[in-house]
Amino acid sequence: MSNAVYRRIEDLEKLNPPLTARPDLDEYWDLTLKQFADKPLNATKTLVETPFTYMQAYRVEFEGFDETPIHGWYVLPRFHIHEKLPCVVIYHGYGGSKGNPEDYASYLLMGVAVFAIDVRGQAGETGNLLRQDFGTARGWVTQGILHRDTCYYKAITIDALKALDWASEQPEVDASRICALGGSQGGGLAMIAAALSDKPAIAVPHIPNMCQMDFGILNSTSSLMEAAAFIERFPEHLDAVLTTLSYYDNMNLAHRIRIPIFVTVGLKDPVTMPETIYAAYNRVESEKTIVPYPFTGHAVTGDQNRKAMEFIAAKLMK
């Protein structure tokens, strides 16, 4: 059908902007993953009483990138038979938090365990011990942004990977049936986890950030506006910032994804813009599905959630 809506989708499906990856991208991540592989989680898990008869909830703390205690909810369906469960590891959107255990009831009704974590320093219970040697723009994104090893993106990426490690070690969880899932910032983390971790069997990046970040920093209204504000204040650091971001850009890392992924995108989204998402998605070489929503902005709708759960059920449920 030849109309504006379908032409827009066809154009996005053809997007193939040049990569911004530095030559040592894969070597850098191989060494980084090796460096953090044996870092202890130092985790604790505490049972919490809730009013929900069919939910078992635990408060969890673990360490990821550094010694910052990352807080999470680990919730299980009380009605499951005693086989091991699939598990969804959930990352929230920018400025959010892990929320409350009942926020994940729909997964429990599927018979799926959930591990939902705070992203450090944002609106949850988790602080941030990341060292800071230079000033920042408002928000969190520009902390340490002048180098790939000091930046906030590195800290939250390693935190996200370590959350998958923790979930895979739980006695109730079938380590072969883990899904990395999130929306916006959380979608970006789910996608980078799919590229860098061997723990998830599938990934669901809803409206993912951290895609084609050089385009996003110029055009989007996302958290990358903070990086733009930083460069406006310190224009001499443009190249350093773009270099740092390139190591955390899902467009550059898409070739490392080897698992099935399910992506959603809103074509009216000014935050995680469809151009950026398709730029990353089009480079994924594994089994993949993308569902565009022509009239949706920066949101994860009920239909997006339903389709994602159908994907999870098809891939992870026995």
Q: Is 153 annotated as a binding residue?
A: no
The CA distances from residue 201 to 49, 89, 129, 132, 164, in Å, are 31, 11, 31, 35, 11
Catalytic, out of 71, 92, 206, 298:
298
- State the number of CA atoms in the 13 A half-sphere of 57 facing the CB: 20
Strand (E) positions, the chain? 44-48, 55-63, 69-77, 85-91, 113-117, 173-183, 202-206, 261-266, 288-293
Residue 269 annotated in active site: yes
Cα dihedral value 247, 142, 69, 198, nearest 10? -20
Given a contact cutoff of 8 angstroms between Cβ atoms, the answer to whether 78 and 58 are in contact is no
For residue 100, the 8-state DSSP code is -
Residue 298 annotated in active site: yes
Catalytic, out of 168, 184, 197, 222:
184
- Segment (H or E) for 300: none
Q: Which residues have a catalytic role annotated?
A: 184, 269, 298
Known binding residues are 94
Known binding residues for substrate are 94
